[in-house]
Amino acid sequence: MPKFVYDFTEGNKDLKDLLGGKGANLAEMTNLGLPVPPGFTITAEACRHYLEHGSVPEGLQAETDEHLAALEKQMGKRLGQPDDPLLVSVRSGAKFSMPGMMETVLNIGLNDESVHGLAAQAGDERFAWDSYRRLIQMFGKTVLDIDGDLFEEAIDDAKATKGTDSDLDLDTADFKKLVQVYKDIVREQAGRDFPADPREQMDLAVRAVFESWNAPRAILYRRQERIPADVGTAVNICSMVFGNLGMDSGTGVAFTRDPASGQQGIYGDYLQNAQGEDVVAGIRNTVPLTELERIDKASYDQLLGIMETLENHYRDLCDIEFTIERGRLWMLQTRVGKRTAAAAFCIATQLVDQGLITIDEAVRRVTGHQLAQLMFPRFDDSADKEQIAKGMNASPGAAVGQAVFSSERATELAAAGEKAILVRRETTPDDLAGMVAAQGVLTSRGGKTSHAAVVARGMGKTCVCGAEELDVDVKNRVFTAPGGVTVREGDVISIDGTSGAIYLGEVPVMDSPVVQYFEGRLAVADGDELVRAVDRIMAHADERRRMAVRANADNPEDAGRARRFGAQGIGLCRTEHMFLGDRRRLVEQLILADTDEERATALGGLAPLQRADFVGIFTAMDGLPVTVRLIDPPLHEFLPDLTELSVKVALAGDAADPADRRLLEAVHRLHEQNPMLGLRGVRLGLVIPGLFAMQVRAIAEAAAERRAAGGDPRPEIMIPLVGAVQELEAIREEAAGVLAEVAEATGVDVPALIGTMIELPRAALTAGQIAEAAEFFSFGTNDLTQTTWGFSRDDVEASFFSRYLELGVFGVSPFETLDRDGVGRLVRIAVDEGRRTRPDIKLGICGEHGGDPDSVHFCHEVGLDYVSCSPFRIPVARLEAGRATI
Ligand code: ADP
Ligand code: MG
Ligand code: MG
């Protein structure tokens, strides 16, 4: 039978799978000799068993008994002992941090008797009754599922009766009364009495924590953060220490560095005479941690020492939760802290400079996702803007949208495709859906460690918090700023998460410094610490990576930008846009052509235009490979809309233009029920004589022209949607003929590779045959995903993907991250078979997946030579291709 319970002295930080992050780190701190209140952890395995079977695993109860007995022995008192009660907290803690998502119950072990024992031992009656009412409140809400507002309203009433708005003004008698009121609420709402038996309290709380894993907000958070749904949570039973024992006590949270910038220093919030969640919940306003030096110098110094120990031990930024009980410091939690994208890059290089980590490790510690965030636009410094207030810069970015005051409204606007800024006094886990839906989050209370700040940073969402100058009236959906500014729901505001500024109206945005750097418009030497950090990390990733990175680009501007971003060629140059605009007329002629002559005229019109397009691209990518895909979409996409044209012809009646009639007939003829699976790709080339030949000729002539002008064009011709080698052979022969003709005619022989996209399952499965005719494969994983799953991307994403995500059919859309098991399997088969036939075959990917971090790692693993992605994703792909090798 597995071991289900670990004492804090038995675990360590590497046991997160079993003990969860919180439990593993409590154990690590205990073993480092830091002051952690004794306790033990019930494993996530026990939770998984409970969630699966609805009952705790056999043996858990006995093991818990044993550990509780040992804890009682160590503490010299029994759980809930009437004259001197041992109290514990029951705390959730999963492998992945999910701040505030699951439950914690404090002060377990109090009842009508032991509350007196606690009062006597502490010499403080008020404290004991405050602790007791907190227990009933947390227990009621968490374990008995009672609406937490009922308790909040009762305490608000008590404060109102007293004529105060601070809980500090409530006295023993008030808390005694409150305990009674709370008990009544429990009886009314839960139909049972609050359980007086300490062990029953504990066991019920443990189960409630297990169950909180499947609370809707936890599920939503996991989906957002892509945390697997089946890991479960561990439960920590931790002996209580008290921050609510008077003004020489308190509780706080801190970071070892600024999680927004990475700067070293003292960052945190502290609240005197308070317990647990009070700090993050914004019950009272906290003081900056630096104030603690004045309040309790000894504890402050000790805390700084511990923070340094933790940083050196974890070799990373840590966040911590601590409590001071009558001048004695206790550590209640630590973990490697969430940070902004900018801080991640800065901290990683700072730690290299401090000699704590290697540059390899630094590259591993930043992600492509973070880099992508740094490339988001900023507010334009030079724009006119009306700043109405300033808050704390909790999570960077530039967000613009309508002010909304509820999670529901934010979700509604998002559903309607509109942008919202969620404005709250403070956020709670219940606001999560709104935070996800909004462009940014603005709060008037709470510091950088408040719920809003922590969650927004985790999601990469812009957040300004603690803007105390704002008076937020959620009920009336309005806030006011100094100077008589009033903002109502629906008014547009702009918030700057990098500076904390809040503006009225829409502020224009500009390129971020990191983009300016990538574009070569900002020299490293002129950049700030972030730019220097990005530069160092990118340089090392480039040195490390095996795969090349190319761009999907089909015009000289994009090609040029991609090259500045580090692209080593073009992996996908689509040619469809070359058939749009004024050129539609020529495409119509081509489709309507009845004779070879008419067809030749139409193609002859298109050819020079195409040639000019290619000259531009070859120039921008001089010396680098350019993979040109011959035309792929069904031709009717270039014709007028069937309905519109039908109406036009019908209205004109007998007077209708004969050309329109012919066109209508063609549109009818080409109309397809399922164009994605219709006449497109290589099929067009086989059915419309001369179409592909014209394109190949344009490519060859453009290359010859560039070569004659002293350039170094490197064309690669790619045939789309091949399913059988015979298709490719036919086109290949035609193309080879054209290439030879052009070489002959121009006297310039530019070699061009001919290859194909692998985007049909049949192509993957017969890749060994196809490789006979292909010098390269490029995996078109958009179509390959569509055809493997039988999903039409345009139809399914909006209609049922959210249901599929909910059901866990997949954790993330297969169009976003390559489906390793299915589509990935086909890719592997094609790679193996292709290489077997043609060992030097070039292999790449050009679907959207080429810029997705996880998919880039997959491409590295299966041995592709390059990934190709949109120009803006190129730095991300470079970084991830480097990380994949480390
Ligand atoms: P979360 O995962 O939401 O941070 P925690 O389990 O850390 O929840 O509990 C929240 C807070 O409750 C802690 O930060 C701490 O202040 C308080 N707390 C938890 N356990 C104890 C304890 N044994 N003694 C004193 N305070 C505690
Ligand atoms: Mg905590
Ligand atoms: Mg395709």
Give me the phi and psi of 329, to 5 degrees please: -90, 135
Residue 745: CB atoms within 10 A of its CB come to: 12
Mutation probe of ligand 1 site: the residue of 104, 127, 212, 278 with most atoms within 8 A of C-beta: 104
Ligand with an atom nearest the CA of residue 108 = 1
DSSP 641: P
Give me the pLDDT at residue 670, please: 84
Residue 295: both structure tokens together = 């309040």
- Lowest mean pLDDT, pick from 326-340, 437-451, 718-732: 437-451
DSSP 84-104: S-B-EEEEEEESS--TTTS-E
CA 789 to ligand 3 center in whole angstroms: 14
- For atom 12 of ligand 1, which residue has the closest CA? 276
Give me the phi and psi of 683, to 5 degrees please: -65, -35
- Lowest mean pLDDT, pick from 32-41, 312-321, 427-436: 427-436
The dihedral through the CA atoms of 538, 539, 545, 551 has a sign that is: positive
Query: Does 200 appear as a known binding residue?
Result: no
Tell me the CA distances in angstroms from 825 to 150, 725, 830, 845, one per residue in order.
54, 20, 9, 14
Distance (Å, rounded) from C-alpha 411 to C-alpha 408?
5
Ligand with an atom nearest the CA of residue 94 = 1
Give me the pLDDT at residue 682, please: 97
Query: Does 669 appear as a known binding residue?
Result: no
3-state secondary structure of 567: coil
| Amino acid, single-letter form, for residue 831 | V
CA 276 to ligand 2 center in whole angstroms: 8
> How does pLDDT run across 574-593, given as a tens digit for each residue?
998 788 877 888 888 888 88
Residue 87: both structure tokens together = 């109290």
Distance (Å, rounded) from C-alpha 673 to C-alpha 7?
65
Give me the pLDDT at residue 222, please: 85
Which position among 463, 846, 859, 869 bears the catalytic label? Answer: 846
Distance (Å, rounded) from C-alpha 554 to C-alpha 614?
9
pLDDT > 70 in the chain, percent? 99
DSSP 708-719: HTT---EEEEEE
| Amino acid, single-letter form, for residue 541 | A
- Lowest mean pLDDT, pick from 187-191, 348-352, 803-807: 803-807
Give the number of the atom of ligand 1 that is nearest the alpha carbon of residue 91.
6
238 HSE (CA, 13 A, CB side): 29
8 Å CB contact between 142 and 96? no
Provide the H-helix boundaries in 233-296: 278-281, 292-295
User: Residues with beta carbon inside 6 Å of ligand 1?
Assistant: 37, 89, 91, 100, 104, 106, 238-241, 251, 276-277, 321, 323, 332-333
Tell me the CA distances in angstroms from 724 to 679, 682, 824, one per residue in order.
15, 10, 20
Residue 384: both structure tokens together = 């006119």
| Amino acid, single-letter form, for residue 66 | E
> How does pLDDT run across 444-487, given as a tens digit for each residue?
988 777 788 878 876 778 999 999 999 999 999 999 999 899 99
Distance (Å, rounded) from C-alpha 698 to C-alpha 704?
10
- For atom 27 of ligand 1, which residue has the closest CA? 276
Q: Is 230 exposed, middle or buried (0-12, 13-18, 19+ CB in 10 A)?
A: exposed
Closest by alpha carbon to 79, among 32, 117, 46, 35? 117
> How does pLDDT run across 666-709, given as a tens digit for each residue?
888 888 888 889 999 999 999 988 999 999 999 999 999 999 99
Domains annotated on the chain, with CATH: 47-57+67-239 (1.20.80.30), 250-336 (3.30.470.20), 376-510 (3.50.30.10), 545-579+603-632+686-883 (3.20.20.60)
> How does pLDDT run across 820-862, given as a tens digit for each residue?
999 999 999 999 999 999 999 999 999 889 999 999 999 999 9
User: Residue written as tokens 């410091």?
Assistant: 329
Mutation probe of ligand 1 site: the residue of 89, 131, 212 with most atoms within 8 A of C-beta: 89
| 846 among known catalytic residues | yes
DSSP 497-560: TTT-EEEESPPPEE--HHHHHHTTSS-GGGS-HHHHHHHHHHHHHHHH--SEEEEE--SHHHHH
Query: Does 378 appear as a known binding residue?
Result: no
Give me the pLDDT at residue 282, please: 61
CA 14 to ligand 2 center in whole angstroms: 19
Query: Does 782 appear as a known binding residue?
Result: yes
CA 855 to ligand 3 center in whole angstroms: 17
CA 38 to ligand 2 center in whole angstroms: 16
Q: pLDDT band at residue 283, thresholds of 50, 70 and 90?
A: low
> How does pLDDT run across 68-107, given as a tens digit for each residue?
999 999 999 999 999 999 999 999 999 988 877 778 899 9
Tell me what the mean pLDDT of segment 420-431 comes to.
90
Sheet containing 250-257: which strands, arranged edge to edge? 287-288, 264-272, 250-257, 318-325, 328-336
Chain Cα centroid distance, residue 40: 33
Query: Does 783 appear as a known binding residue?
Result: yes
